[in-house]
Structure 1
Amino acid sequence: MYRHGTRSAGRQTDRAVINTNQLKSALERLCLVVPKRAILPVLENLRWRAAKGHLELTATDLDNRLHISIPFVGEAVDSDVDVLIPAKELCQLVKTESASNLKLRIRNGTCEVTANKRTVVLSCAESSSFPESPDGEAKPQGQILGSAFDGALRRALFCVSTESGRYSTDVLKLELRGSIFRVVGTDGHRLSVVEGTARTTGDSTFWVLLLRSTVTILSRLGLADEPRWVEFSTCGSEQDFNLFALPDGSRLITRRGQGQFPNYENVLPKAPLEARVVFRREELLEGLAKLSPTARKAQVPAVKLELSHSPVSIKTENDGTASSIALEHTRVSGKARDIGFNYHYLTQYVKSVETDTISMKLFPEAISEVALFDAFRYQHLLMPLRV
Structure 2
Amino acid sequence: MDFAYDARTEELRATLLAFMDEYVHPAEVTAHEQRAQLASPWDTPQVVEDLKAEARRQGLWNLFLPDAEHGAGLTNLQYAPLAEITGRSPHLAPTALNCAAPDTGNMEALAQFGSDEQKKQWLQPLLAGEIRSAFAMTEPEVASSDATNIETRIERDGDDYVITGRKWYISGAMNPDCAIFIVMGKTDPGNADVRRQQSMVLVPRDTPGVEIRRAMQVYGYEDHSHGGHAEVVFHGARVPASNLIGEAGGGFAIAQARLGPGRIHHCMRLIGMAERAIELMCRRAVSRTAFGKPMAQQGVVQEWIADARVAVEQVRLLVLKTAWLMDTVGNRGAHTEIQAIKIATPRTVLDIIDKAIQLHGAGGVSQDFPLAELWASARTLRLADGPDEVHQRSLARRELKKYL
- Fold conserved between structures, TM > 0.5: no
Structure richer in helix, relative to its length: 2
TM-score, normalised to structure 2's length? 0.22
In the superposition, the TM-score normalised over structure 1's length comes to 0.23
More strand as a share of residues: 1
